[in-house]
Chain A
């Protein structure tokens, strides 16, 4: 296959940057243009809800690469200008400033945007968290907040609840599901998470949704819950998930069913690949998925770049993700989902050490640890090799 001679990468965050670097690493020497909606050079998002909110890192530390590394890529950087439309037949991209960019190869990595409540986001004190500017505004808000409500108990919501609590204010964590983080980790681990937050003084309000925000003089004063309660809050973070940033691709000819629908090699159309939070693809043995985790941005960015250069390798990662909450580091491989059978290897409430394997199909499909980083790595091979469940149980007991 002839390699493309003019590649455009849309999205200048972890997936887009990694794709650009992988193109160069795998020998691509042609023209390279990188388009990013934000004016900043590429930066990392996991620290936004951790070190940046806690105030332990200066905002400069989240940059993904030193300036010389960005220069060495030999790319034409178009930062601060969003892509607004794509014509896959004409192989042409249009940017917000009216520029038309023709391409032979295109990497789409525009990520996701936070979901919003139906109303109330115009009020002072109501925050979302996706960008560095969002994080800095939230950090500043936390300095003076006396009562914080976090709407949504997923990764972002629980991390912000923990970071906020460490800064002093009252914190209430609200989610319609039965326990925090129940979707990624299942019932047992979710109940441990609820206990961890309660132990640190967070009011965990599970099983109830927000019906409306209350306000006075344009500032939020709290929220009404659908069980009839009112929660007082002068700062509200809405962290109710995100949706793929694909509005600009309407009419492009791409299949936009849950993000950008790709094949096994991350290819979305001839000459077009997608990577990161917005790319849906059929994992060879786990089925179709879309993964909003940091590690996937790197791995899929690399895989998509190789596809564009003519490789035909199915993308089959062993998913890895982590979250930091208080003094607990939770690490996971695979899909430790709620419908799985659970085998607990370690469970020590005093040290918050925990380790478990998950199985959904007679094989190991996931692993989760708390404060046991080395053991997480040791359990990874069971997920990677899909160890038969009974073999894994025997190995854990011996």
Chain B
């Protein structure tokens, strides 16, 4: 799994951090998403899929590497 985030689309809701704090964080200044790990461990995949599903800004894209 390869994770990409669109910081321009991100609304800073932080829902991804609630789902997968190992993979996503937010910038201090404006809450925009920061990707901590673009190739997360398989045991995190379901949490990352959940983060991508619930993101209200559709800012998370998952692809096969």
Contacts and interface: CB of A to CB of B under 8 A. Distances in A.
Given A373-B30, A377-B17, A380-B18, A329 B12 contact: yes
A322 B11 contact: yes
A299 B53 CA distance: 9
A298 interface: yes
Given A329-B30, A371-B30, A380-B18, A44 B13 contact: no
A25 B31 CA distance: 30
Contacts of A61: 9
A21 B50 CA distance: 12
Contacts of A372: 31
A298 B54 contact: yes
B22 to A, nearest CB: 15
A49 to B, nearest CB: 13
A322 B13 contact: yes
A75 B53 CA distance: 19
Nearest to A14: B56
B12 to A, nearest CB: 4
A331 B28 CA distance: 15
B17 A295 contact: no
Nearest to B32: A373
Interface string A51-76: 00000000001001000000000000
A42 to B, nearest CB: 11
Contacts of A320: 13, 15, 56
Contacts of B14: 373-374, 376-377
Interface in A6-63: 18, 21, 25, 44, 46, 61
A117 B3 CA distance: 47
Contacts of B56: 46, 294-295, 298, 320, 322
Nearest to A299: B54
Contacts of A374: 14, 26, 28, 31
A261 to B, nearest CB: 26
Contact of A377 (B11, B26, B53, B57): B26
A187 interface: no
6 shortest A-B CB distances, which residue pairs? A373-B31, A377-B14, A373-B12, A294-B56, A295-B56, A374-B26
Interface of B: 9, 11-15, 17-18, 26, 28, 30-32, 53-54, 56-58
Interface of A: 18, 21, 25, 44, 46, 61, 64, 294-295, 298-299, 302, 320, 322, 324, 329, 331, 371-374, 376-377, 380
9 contacts: A18-B53, A25-B53, A64-B58, A295-B15, A298-B53, A320-B56, A329-B30, A374-B31, A376-B14
Given A46-B56, A331-B12, A374-B26, 15 more contacts: A18-B53, A21-B53, A44-B58, A302-B53, A320-B56, A322-B56, A324-B11, A329-B11, A329-B30, A329-B31, A331-B13, A373-B26, A374-B28, A376-B31, A380-B18
